[in-house]
Amino acid sequence: MTNLIIGASSEIAQSITRQLLSSGEVVHGISQHPQPAQVPHDQNLHWWICHYGESHIEQLVESLQETITEPISRVVICNGQLHGDGLVVEKRLQDLQESSFHQIINSNALVPLLWLRALLPWLSKQECKIAVFSARVGSIEDNKLGGWYSYRASKAALNMLLKTAAIEYSRRAKKIKLMAFHPGTTDTPLSKPFQANVAESKLFEPEFVAKRLLEIMESLHIDGELSYLDWAGEPIRW
């Protein structure tokens, strides 16, 4: 089977890639970074650089389409930012910063949607499952703690964009299944500064989450709906 892994340098994406390669599958990894040393060189792995501007995504999808002759069975979109250079993780309203908000909305919500736009014409006749990394903090009903205004809003926005895209895909790409996925708190650079109060048993290894994601994708039926599921395969309230 042939897979597209977008945001492929993410720690979880690297684990997904390793697991797929070890099963003999073909992976096209797409990232703004060169192939990480932890991802093995393998004849079934093709690494593409993308800087996620809309024209760059469109051009890259054209190149992928010209290069890949076999159908795409899975797409996994891993992009997401919570903290980093110039980004503020708000504890209260006074922490909110316009530029940080725009950046987080862009990488968590807009970039995945640009990929769904670019992929639709190519995948419209194919049977394919698409997983996009959301987060439980994107659930409005589940928000009991507050804080993290930009990240929460970006994942809630992502969920709405995916729901709307699932409706359009069900009309124009009838054999595609979409899932918004919450990996659980996973030991990656994204969660590193926030792990202090997480019980050891609740902090997952990327390899575990990658395995769960692939098992859950396998079990999904093509029903024209967006599923919002966690690592255990349990639905999350919107």
Ligand X SMILES: NC(=O)c1ccc[n+]([C@@H]2O[C@H](COP(=O)([O-])OP(=O)(O)OC[C@H]3O[C@@H](n4cnc5c(N)ncnc54)[C@H](OP(=O)(O)O)[C@@H]3O)[C@@H](O)[C@H]2O)c1
Using CB under 6 A as the binding rule, whether residue 227 contacts ligand X is answered as no
Using CB under 6 A as the binding rule, whether residue 219 contacts ligand X is answered as no
CB of 79 to ligand X, least distance (A): 4
Do 57 and 115 touch, CB atoms closer than 8 A? yes
Do 60 and 30 touch, CB atoms closer than 8 A? yes
Using CB under 6 A as the binding rule, whether residue 12 contacts ligand X is answered as yes
CB of 171 to ligand X, least distance (A): 27
CB of 133 to ligand X, least distance (A): 4
Binding mask 98-137 for ligand X (x = CB under 6 A): ---------x---x---------------------x-x--
CB of 185 to ligand X, least distance (A): 4
Using CB under 6 A as the binding rule, whether residue 159 contacts ligand X is answered as no
Using CB under 6 A as the binding rule, whether residue 90 contacts ligand X is answered as no
- Which residues have C-beta within 8 Å of that of residue 25, sequence separation ≥ 6? 1, 2, 3, 44
Q: Which stretch binds ligand X (CB under 6 A): 27-35, 66-74, 119-127, 212-220?
A: 27-35
DSSP 32: S
Residues binding ligand X: number (CB under 6 A): 27
Using CB under 6 A as the binding rule, whether residue 31 contacts ligand X is answered as yes
Do 195 and 205 touch, CB atoms closer than 8 A? no
How far apart CA 14 and CA 33 sit, in angstroms, is 12
Planar angle of CA 209, 210, 211, nearest 5 degrees: 90
How far apart, in Å, are the Cα atoms of 35 and each of 48, 76, 110, 186, 212?
9, 17, 24, 21, 24
CB of 87 to ligand X, least distance (A): 10
Residue whose CB is less far from ligand X, 159 or 188:
188
Tell which one of 2, 3, 35, 81 touches ligand X (CB under 6 A): 81
Do 113 and 165 touch, CB atoms closer than 8 A? yes
Tell which one of 100, 139, 188, 227 touches ligand X (CB under 6 A): 188
The CB density around residue 216, as the number of other CB atoms within 10 Å, is 20
Q: In what order do the strands lie in the sheet with 26-31?
A: 45-49, 26-31, 2-6, 72-77, 128-133, 176-182, 226-230
- Pairing status of strand 128-133 against strand 176-182: parallel
CB of 84 to ligand X, least distance (A): 7
CB of 125 to ligand X, least distance (A): 28
The residues of the shown chain that bind ligand X, judged by CB under 6 A, are 7-13, 31-33, 52, 78-81, 107, 111, 133, 135, 182-183, 185-186, 188-191
